[in-house]
Amino acid sequence: EEEAAGATEMDFLRNLFSSTLGLGSPDKVLDELTLEGVAQYIKSGKCKNILCMVGAGISTSAGIPDFRSPGTGLYANLQKYNLPYPEAIFQIDYFKKHPEPFFALARELYPGQFKPTVCHYFIKLLKDKGLLRRCYSQNIDTLERVAGLEGDDLIEAHGTFYTSHCVSFCCRAEYNLDWMKEKIFSDDIPKCDKCNSLVKPDIVFFGENLPVRFFTSMKMDFPRCDLLIVMGTSLQVQPFAGLVGRVSKSCPRLLINMEKAGQADPLLGLLGFGGGMDFDSDKAYRDVAHISTCDDGCLALADLLGWKAELEELVKQEHARIDSEGKKEKSSESKGAAAKASSASAAPETKKEE
């Protein structure tokens, strides 16, 4: 983290001198600052290392609320948990004293209850076509994994439900997704089998550090990026939001979101610092804002690339597969429950015969 902070300071000085001395005026990268311009750039063959940065907005069409939308966002609907303030549900100190609200919420939002969206499968399509370098996600819903991204394709910047650990520094025992799922849906507060301390999914709470891999990977990935696609995030949470400024000045940046986000602070922009998005000024040359839902934006881009039918077929096939697996799992659970009930009812009869 200290190295990352040092690199940011160097970026500040470099940009300050460039701006002050009028050096390094960037060339226009896209033929036009539109979705069409981005599609033409991808089709030109100049794109080999696409990075995606995604937030909660890519999962809302799956039925998972985002955090900050007025009225419908997660933070606007936490009154039933009697929190001192909405963000407390993700505060590590509050969690250690009052874990019940978090696990009640986890039961509502638990991975495995939702299917990946068109946007998730568009990212998978980028991978299949050899264009995706990596996807950096703020999400904890694991839908990128369900859609077919693997560990090396993915940086889960804010952690994941995929694994869990005991919170005790002396223990740190690891537990898998199935273990945590069983605890959460049995209304038990997950406690460590070894030391009886709390067990927490490996998601990053406020007050915790981001995964080390986030910092090591960003140093390799962002300088090599030749197209940055940002989707479904307000770009308000650091250090994730600052990643948009870590690509080279020649790298185009596409935002697909319900509103513009990540724009440079006017004062810092005068200093050439911050790397924020510039969609509208006379100096805009590489940033494109496509204002729509993430699914609609991905479908529109896929259409321009000639991939729309392929994307729609991928979504159809994968959703059918997930539905089929879900039915099998429910059938298996029903048979297991019936067997238990049968066993329980048979026991008294045996006793009676004796």
Model pLDDT for residues 275-293, shown as the tens digit of each residue: 689 998 888 899 999 999 9
Flag whether 185 is in a domain: yes
Q: Which of 158, 165, 290, 319 is an active site residue?
A: 158
Amino acid letter for position 287: D
> What average pLDDT does the segment 72-86 reach?
69
Identify whether 127 is part of a domain: no
How many domains does the chain divide into?
Answer: 1
- pLDDT tens for 143-202 read 999 999 998 999 999 988 888 999 999 999 999 988 998 888 887 899 999 999 999 999
Q: Is 158 a catalytic residue?
A: yes
Of 107-111, 174-178, 227-231, which range is least confident?
107-111
Beta-carbon neighbour count of residue 143 at 10 Å?
22
What sign does the dihedral 7-9-15-21 (CA atoms) show? negative
Per the model's pLDDT, the better-predicted residue between 302 and 178 turns out to be 302
Has 251 been labeled as part of a binding site? no
Is the model more confident about 24 or about 37? Answer: 37
192 in a labelled binding site = yes
Say which amino acid occupies 76: A
Q: Is residue 270's pLDDT more than 50?
A: no
- On whether residue 274 sits in a domain, the answer given is no
113 is in an annotated binding site: no
| Residue 75: CATH number of its domain | 3.30.1600.10
Question: What domain range includes position 92?
Answer: 65-113+159-203
Please state the φ and ψ torsions of residue 253, each to the nearest 5 degrees: -130, 125
* 57 belongs to an annotated ligand binding site: yes
State yes or no: 18 annotated in a binding site.
Answer: no
Phi, psi of 274 (to 5 degrees): 115, -30
